A and B are shown apart, each in its own frame.
Chain A
Amino acid sequence: MVTDSVLTHLLRRGEYLTDGGALCLGGDCPHCLATVDGVAYVRTCQTPFRQRLSVQAHPAGDLPRLESRGERAPVPARTIHCDVVVIGQGPAGRRAAEEARTDGKHVVTLDSGDGQDAIGIYPGPLVVARTNDSMWQLYPRDEIIVATGAAEIQPVAPGNDLRGLVTARATTVLAAAGVTLGRVVAVGTPPEGVVATSVSGELVRFEPAAADPRRVGAVVLRDSLGTEHSHPCDTVSLGLGLTPRDALLRMARGMNVRGVGDVLLPPDVPPCPLDGTVCPCSGVTVEDLRSVHARGFCELDLVKRATLAGTGPCQGAACVPHIRAFLAAQGADLPTPFTARPVTRQLTLGEVAAGAHHVATPRTALDAEHRALGAHMERLGGWWRPWHYGDVEAEYTAVRTGVSICDVSTLGKMQVSGPDAVALLEHLYPVPISSLATGRSRYVLMLDERGYVADDGLVCRDGDTRFTLTFTSGGSTFAELWVRDWAESLKLDVRVMNQTMSLGAINVTGPRAKELLVRAGVTDPPGFLRHGTATVAGVPCRLFRLSFTGEVSFELHHAAADSVTLWQGLMRLGADLGVRPHGLEALMKLRLEMGHIIVGQDTDFDSTPRRLNHEWAVRLEKPSFVGRAAILRTNKLPLDRQLCMFEMDGNAPAEGATIWLGAEYVGDVTSSTWSPTLGRSVMLGWVRLQPGGNDEPDELPTKVSIDGQHARRVTRRSFDPEGIRARA
């Protein structure tokens, strides 16, 4: 036995969910929409009836409420590869599927009668379908066959929103389902297998029944002599012609898609509508069409946009045939229907989201260690990183006065080797590379062709033809593409290995950093900007001596699998030295005291080395490197603004605070912190140069105000200006 739809079930009991309108039972019209199981705008003619299903009419005279109810299980998603997808299982679709199977094809069919609705065809080609229990993504190798048939044309005449109007096909279905139809009058093509009185003439109006003003009591037609005839009835069957359900076909134009059956029919053009509602979804009448047309909205798309006809739940299925007829009657060429777009059958956001997931933010190998230590973790530069461990001041003090460790595994780490390694790096970096001795490191800016700073890091020479490069945490993915792209386009013989994920890195920093390393078994720690290898707390490491915090620092690169051993070893061995980890918040403070920039935070899209006050990191005497030509050119232009260091008494302003020279805006703060050591606030910020006057060159303002407080630009940092601590 065929399961009833919700609509049929209710009609059999004489119940209606909507005011009326010509029911089509084909999923095309908007006259059976209701809230089912908490979801509004569900086509009850396409919903199988079952007990305990909650079905409610939409609020009378209002739109459904904006809400979702309770929890709902996630919708499963399936990906299906096959040879052929057949959409629609009417006679043509069944035949097409059978033929393809006979040819040995793996065929998947979608039967809307079984709740399987294609919602769109996307480039791929990809057919996305909603079923009653899951979402399907179908990837057919050979072809897509669209057999979605044709929809029946809706009547446009006054009273077309009454109950008791049914399309001809739907009349047959309802009669077969045992729905009481009463006296049936058939307009146009009569319904099959139903006793009906056929009437002919031009449709004039539907009249309500005396007993029930919401239900049709008669249909009025006009004969060729202009005389109106009223035909009393309980049900009007409307066989007004067919219009193909070809949205999927049109959407998939240019893909390997073909239609079969009624979907290929030329659309019947109904007579020009004279009166009544044309678009039931948006409540657009023939009068509305005349009104906008008379005022210059003459194209189908403009009519649609001016009236909103065709923008409702049925997406023009009901109104487009009539609007086309209307425009043709005004003297236009019969317009083509407007662009077909997904979704062709409606589904919920929850359904369409099936199979999606949040993009995971990577965690370092030490993530569990941080959390066990009570760290507040933050997303930054594409990673989860410890922001602080509950006491930023103590973290800061440990670095400045004792020893501290920091998880810097997120740094971009890359090996570049091969006969042309030097040539590649000479091209990529604005400082000499060939003169860098093995075992030495150098701070580098990475410039793009426009001479703008894209990233910064270290170049460390491991041998004649082997280098280790580091990049910022957020920059490593781009850096790899950048390095590979240049190696490829310059046709250089190099090997590039991105070790960002495979290597962990722990920075050991503070005046007692060396002491801790010695305890951990390092006999000969490398000097400043040198690197070497050692076993630290039992873990083989590469040691890079540098400084971002301003204190003696050793970056220990090691296999990520050993990170926990190394971390715990350092914590244990340094316990009596007061070792404690520091998070990013303390690190920001430490580096800002040193005036070190962070690419991305302190730099902008168009930061040249000159604007960043980093011309010392560029050797223009080098004959060629990426960005050189641009820098030579822009250096001839007057400097407009520069990243400068500021100090002020009192609390640190917010990052992003504006900088003022009297009443004039001159820039904004990019980094800001209170310096416990200096007892005042230190900042980095962009400042615009001011006219010098008296033919003097433009100059940077010295005394400015930030947050209403005086601040002064400093050309030299106050904290360890000679950088003695880092080299100690």
Chain B
Amino acid sequence: MNEAVERLVDLRWPSQVKSAYDVVIIGGGGHGLATAYYLATRHGITNVAVIEKGYIGSGNSGRNTTIIRANYGIPEAVRFYQHSLEMYGRLEQETGRDVMHATKGLLWIAHSEAGVRQERARAEINTAFGSKTEYVDPKTIQDICPQLDMTGQGVWPIYGASYHPSGASARHDRVVWAYAEGAMRLGVHVHQRTAVTGFLRDGDRVVGVETTAGSIAAGVVVSAVGGHVTTLASMVGLRLPIRTHQLQAFVTNRYAQAFGPIVASSGLGVYASQPAKGEMLIGAEIDRAPAYAYDAGHSFLRSCAFRSIALLPFLRDLRVLRQWTGVCDMSADYSPIMGFTGVPNLLVTTGWGTWGFKAIPAGGEQMAELIATGRTPALIAPFALDRFANDRTMADRGSAGTH
């Protein structure tokens, strides 16, 4: 028996697309499915359809590097991501499904006085808002991760780091499936291979969607798409403060478990971890130029491999298995956008940049509450779209453009 084979989840696909639902969620990724799941489990709202143009989890939910952390840089974000991190810790118990959740601890390394200042500040704000992060010295860093080259190849010496012991990871697909199964078990319809081609309008109001499977009327429409949210929003004349950028990553073959923590370096712009299957998973910053393409880049692979070896020399002889690309919706202030759009009956959950995976449980839970009650929950009120018009942006240096 192969332990990696998913043996628990039972996906019960709907037999047909209904002509109307109370709620239509566009996008069958983590956020869309978690929203549907919490609508059904917490609020008893099950006349819900999730519309997915590919297969569930085929977008960024299945392309991210599965890092769960709450060590952000502003109070509102620390609170939100800490809540999400705690929900992840309970997710297996709640859904009864194995999402391969593992607490690993995350080191964010500083290579300069300016970096030290930043990591100390991260520890301060995290601690103040209930997330565990402490500043650690080089000796402690070595204890946590003996494989680090403390001289950074003689070029990027390690001065210190912030250590976030609750940093974790989970298997991205299994998170998607746990939510999909739970939602469908309670009657939510998830329609794969169905693309939204337009919106049904009644005056200003959105009253449904046009899809490749026909028109679907809806009480509320929620956009939970990633990568093409601006295209979708433009169908109703809505402009979002979002640019889409590529984010690339690569993995090696599988090796025996020997690398415990998640290690990130802002100076070198790389991060690395060893998920449960044993591969080394390595990523970098978003590509600066906006793009929708999924092309993999050689300069990324070469440069990222080089930089990661400078930090972790043992990587040198590992075999590169595969590289891939996701496209990230980056908001103007590096924080998510959740809630009302100004277009009646159309909600968004977007701006998930490089931090979408870690936000799936809290994002889904809070969006479900908003849909069910019609009121924005306090936890996500700071992330409303109108913050841009109101000059209340959530500028967050702690969110970086990496992981």
Contacts and interface: CB of A to CB of B under 8 A. Distances in A.
10 contacts: A42-B319, A67-B314, A301-B58, A312-B253, A346-B320, A346-B321, A348-B317, A356-B307, A640-B392, A656-B125
Given A295-B9, A306-B5, A341 B315 contact: no
A346 B319 contact: yes
B301 interface: yes
Interface residues of A, number: 76
A668 B5 contact: no
A313 B296 CA distance: 19
B5 A350 contact: no
Given A341-B324, A387-B113, A305 B62 contact: yes
Interface string A261-299: 000000000000000000000111100100110011101
A103 to B, nearest CB: 28
Interface stretch (B101-109, B255-263, B355-363, B368-376): B255-263
Interface string A42-66: 1000000000000000010011111
B322 A342 contact: yes
Top 7 closest pairs, chain A to chain B, by CB: A656-B121, A296-B11, A356-B306, A605-B395, A68-B317, A353-B306, A350-B316
Contacts of B55: 299, 301-302
Residue among A59, A315, A604, A656 facing the most chain B CB atoms (10 A cut-off): A656
Interface string A615-632: 000000000000000000
A352 interface: yes
A285 B2 contact: yes
A380 B113 contact: yes
Given A283-B2, A342-B298, A606 B395 contact: yes
A328 interface: no
Interface stretch (A122-130, A192-200, A392-400): A122-130
A658 B390 contact: no
A343 B253 CA distance: 12
Contacts of A301: 55, 58
Interface string B316-345: 111111111000000001100000000000
Contacts of B113: 378, 380, 387
A358 interface: yes
Residue among B11, B128, B252, B391 facing the most chain A CB atoms (10 A cut-off): B391
B130 to A, nearest CB: 11
A297 B11 contact: yes
Interface stretch (B201-209, B220-228, B230-238, B273-281): B273-281
B192 to A, nearest CB: 7
Interface in B28-66: 55-58, 62
B173 interface: yes
Interface in A655-670: 655-658, 665, 668
Per DSSP, are chain A's interface residues mostly helix, strand or loop, or mixed?
loop
A122 B302 CA distance: 13
B124 interface: yes
A353 B305 contact: yes
A606 B391 contact: yes
A343 B321 contact: yes
Contact of B125 (A128, A341, A668): A668
Contacts of B80: none
A346 B317 CA distance: 11
Nearest to A63: B256
B24 to A, nearest CB: 21
A128 B298 contact: yes
Contact of A654 (B124, B153, B301, B310): B124
A195 to B, nearest CB: 38
Nearest to A299: B55
Nearest to A120: B298
A709 interface: no
Contacts of B155: 358
A341 B173 contact: no
A41 interface: yes
Contacts of B10: 295-296
A305 B173 contact: yes
A693 B303 CA distance: 57
A349 B253 CA distance: 11
Nearest to B6: A306
Given A295-B11, A305-B57, A358-B155, A39 B173 contact: no
A122 B298 contact: yes
Given A307-B2, A307-B4, A358-B155, A379 B11 contact: no
B306 A357 contact: yes
Contacts of A491: none
A69 interface: yes
B393 interface: yes
Interface in B109-145: 111-114, 117-118, 120-125, 128-129
A40 interface: yes
Contacts of A297: 6, 11
B280 A66 contact: yes
Nearest to B255: A66
B290 interface: no
Contacts of A67: 258, 314, 317
A282 B333 contact: no
Contacts of A66: 255-259, 274, 278, 280, 314, 318
Contacts of A126: 298
Contact of B320 (A40, A349, A608, A655): A349
A305 B55 CA distance: 11
Given A68-B315, A295-B10, A378 B114 contact: yes
A468 interface: no
B295 interface: yes
A283 B173 CA distance: 19
Given A39-B319, A68-B315, A291 B5 contact: yes
B258 A380 contact: no
Contacts of A291: 5, 7
Contacts of A282: 2, 4
A355 B124 CA distance: 40
A637 interface: yes
Contacts of A353: 302-303, 305-306, 309, 316
Contacts of B114: 378-380
B258 A40 contact: no
Interface in A358-409: 358, 378-380, 387
